[in-house]
């Protein structure tokens, strides 16, 4: 029996909702069932999930979704130390309990969260909202607008990275034994945990002691952490990294606006 035939059957239908949360490179899969569930070649962990009302109408831009999870849930716990630096997407699949077929029932992303006593509430927007929204345009500035080591920058960060064993973790204070230590300041760079999560380095007392933007959920003593250097997004940084061809700024912007003879528009 096909998924559609079973789903429309009064006697054979036994619908199950599966929730897949993605935050590259991490994936959490949950089933709103008392037991783990196997589907699509994956095991979906049993979880207490309370979804809001699924809305399907002509007003898709307003079709948001609210998800409630206990704060003890491993995925929910990643929001308690602060907002993640990467986008979290949500795909809800609908299948039947004894069926291999499935459909994508709802898809979107997590916009915001709020916590109350024992409960984390996720406010999600439909993927149709982002498809209709106009994205930000490029900024006309002297400084490069590319992310260091990102798609348009193309600098290979692996030779610049420093790694070491984590010897102490106290909320946002991290001690990493890096030998030899970085020669310059790493403030503005990022620290990467073994699971792929990254935090911005906001302070550094020496080559071993760092303060990150918010707490790691997975980093523990004995793990290996990788520290990546910052970039000042100037033409000098591109010269130092032999990457002038990918510079994303406009270094020849005049300091004085030629139309008004002032510097109120163009930066000096």
Domain ranges across the chain:
3-132, 162-228
Which tens digits make up the pLDDT trace of 178-215?
Answer: 888 887 888 988 898 888 888 889 998 888 899 998 88
> For position 112, what pLDDT does the model report?
87
Do residues 85 and 198 touch, judged by C-beta distance below 8 A?
yes
Torsion of CA 168, 188, 218, 127, to 10 degrees: 170
Greater confidence (64 vs 208) lies with 208
**Over residues 98-126, mean pLDDT:** 86
Q: Does domain 3-132 have CATH number 3.30.70?
A: no
- The closest alpha carbon to 193, from 35, 85, 77, belongs to 85
Both tokens of residue 93? 């699949």
Rounded Cα distance between 172 and 201, Å, is: 10
Q: Exposed, middle or buried, 136 (CB in 10 Å: 0-12/13-18/19+)?
A: exposed
Domain 162-228 in the same topology as domain 3-132: no
- pLDDT tier at 45 (50, 70, 90 boundaries)? very high
Q: Does domain 162-228 have CATH number 1.20.1740.10?
A: no
132 has pLDDT over 70: no
Greater confidence (71 vs 262) lies with 71
Do residues 200 and 85 touch, judged by C-beta distance below 8 A?
yes
**Secondary structure class of 60 (helix, strand, coil):** helix
Q: Exposed, middle or buried, 137 (CB in 10 Å: 0-12/13-18/19+)?
A: exposed
> For position 260, what pLDDT does the model report?
72
* Average of per-residue pLDDT values in the chain: 83
> For position 227, what pLDDT does the model report?
92
42 has pLDDT over 80: yes
222 has pLDDT over 80: yes
Instruction: Name the one residue in this structure whose structure tokens are 């509430």.
Output: 121
**Secondary structure class of 189 (helix, strand, coil):** coil
> For position 160, what pLDDT does the model report?
87
> For position 266, what pLDDT does the model report?
47
Alpha helices in the chain (DSSP H): 3-8, 74-77, 127-132, 235-240
| Beta strand spans in 34-101 (E) | 37-39, 42-46, 50-51, 65-70, 89-96
Q: Exposed, middle or buried, 44 (CB in 10 Å: 0-12/13-18/19+)?
A: buried
10 Å Cβ neighbour count for 84?
18
- pLDDT tier at 145 (50, 70, 90 boundaries)? confident
pTM of the model: 0.64
**Over residues 89-93, mean pLDDT:** 92
**Secondary structure class of 238 (helix, strand, coil):** helix
Both tokens of residue 266? 């163009």
> For position 54, what pLDDT does the model report?
76
10 Å Cβ neighbour count for 14?
13
- pLDDT tier at 40 (50, 70, 90 boundaries)? confident
Greater confidence (129 vs 234) lies with 234
Do residues 141 and 265 touch, judged by C-beta distance below 8 A?
no
Rounded Cα distance between 105 and 94, Å, is: 6
Rounded Cα distance between 215 and 209, Å, is: 15
> For position 80, what pLDDT does the model report?
78
39 HSE (CA, 13 A, CB side): 28
């Amino acid at each position: 029996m096909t998924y559609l035939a079973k789903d429309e059957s009064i006697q054979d239908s036994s619908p199950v909702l599966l929730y897949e949360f993605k935050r590259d490179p991490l994936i959490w899969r949950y089933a709103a069932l008392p037991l783990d569930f196997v589907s699509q070649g994956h095991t979906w962990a049993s979880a207490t999930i309370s979804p809001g009302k699924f809305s399907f109408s002509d007003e898709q831009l307003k079709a948001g979704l609210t998800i409630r999870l206990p704060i003890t849930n491993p995925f929910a716990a990643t929001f308690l130390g602060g907002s993640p630096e990467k986008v979290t997407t949500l795909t809800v699949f609908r299948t039947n309990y004894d069926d291999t077929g499935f459909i994508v029932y709802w898809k979107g992303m997590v916009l915001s969260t709020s916590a109350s006593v024992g409960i984390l509430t996720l406010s999600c927007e439909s993927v149709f909202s982002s498809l209709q929204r106009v994205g930000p345009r490029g900024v006309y500035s002297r400084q490069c607008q590319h992310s260091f080591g990102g798609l348009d920058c193309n600098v290979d960060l692996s030779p610049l990275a420093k790694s070491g064993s984590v010897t102490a973790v106290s909320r946002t204070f991290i001690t990493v034994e890096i030998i030899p230590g970085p020669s310059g300041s790493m403030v503005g760079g990022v620290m990467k945990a073994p699971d792929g999560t990254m935090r911005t380095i906001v302070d550094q007392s020496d080559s071993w002691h760092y303060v990150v933007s918010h707490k790691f959920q997975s980093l523990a003593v004995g793990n290996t952490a990788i520290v990546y250097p910052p970039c000042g997004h100037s033409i000098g940084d591109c010269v130092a990294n032999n990457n002038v061809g990918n510079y994303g700024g406009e270094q020849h912007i005049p300091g004085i606006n030629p139309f008004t003879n002032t510097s109120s528009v163009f930066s000096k």
